[in-house]
């Protein structure tokens, strides 16, 4: 679509950069997801191998396999999966808002930098 609007020279160059940017974005989002999930597992006392880099690698490999399966099934299933993932994202955003309004419940959370909303500190 870009090459039809701007011509094959500009469209091709922009398309290649866009594809590379998406590939880098997927890798960075996957690593961030794996590190966050590993932190949650550590807090719950669950470990896969060592609660370290190997757990992050295992979670990342499983995540990429699931994503590859979703994409390889076809665009129709990928569109359906996006709706499910959007629902999960909306629930997590709501969880973030409720948690930040409730504020910290212990001195340990305050020491980690979580202070919540506080109208008295302004």
How many distinct structural domains can be found in the chain?
2
From the centroid of its chain, how far is CA 32?
6
Residues 29 and 63 in one domain: yes
The distance between the two most distant Cα atoms of the chain, rounded to a whole number of Å, is 60
Q: Over its length of 122 residues, how does the chain's per-residue pLDDT go in tens digits?
A: 666 777 777 778 888 898 899 999 999 999 999 999 999 999 888 888 888 889 999 999 999 999 888 888 888 887 888 899 899 999 999 998 888 888 777 888 778 777 777 666 55
* pLDDT for res 116: 74
Whats the size of the chain, residue-wise? Answer: 122
- What are the pLDDT digits (tens) for 54-70? 999 999 999 999 988 88
For the record, the structure tokens of 26 come out as 């997927």
Residues 65 and 79 in one domain: no
CA dist 60 and 56 (Å) reads 6
* pLDDT for res 1: 66
Dihedral (CA of 55, 87, 64, 35) sign: negative
Q: 62 near 41, Cβ under 8 Å? A: no
* pLDDT for res 101: 83
Residues 91 and 58 in one domain: no
* pLDDT for res 59: 93
For the record, the structure tokens of 29 come out as 């989002």
Residues 34 and 68 in one domain: yes
Residues 48 and 5 in one domain: yes
* pLDDT for res 89: 92
């Amino acid at each position: 679509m870009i090459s039809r609007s701007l011509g094959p020279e500009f469209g091709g160059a922009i398309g290649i950069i866009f594809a590379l940017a998406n590939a880098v974005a997927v890798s960075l989002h996957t690593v961030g997801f794996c590190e966050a999930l590993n932190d949650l597992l550590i807090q719950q006392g669950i470990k896969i191998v060592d609660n370290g880099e190997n757990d992050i690698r295992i979670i990342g490999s499983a995540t990429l396999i699931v994503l590859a399966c979703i994409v390889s099934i076809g665009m129709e299933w990928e569109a359906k999966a996006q709706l499910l993932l959007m629902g999960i994202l909306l629930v997590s955003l709501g969880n973030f808002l409720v948690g930040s309004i409730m504020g910290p419940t212990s001195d340990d959370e305050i020491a980690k930098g979580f202070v919540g909303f506080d109208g008295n500190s302004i």
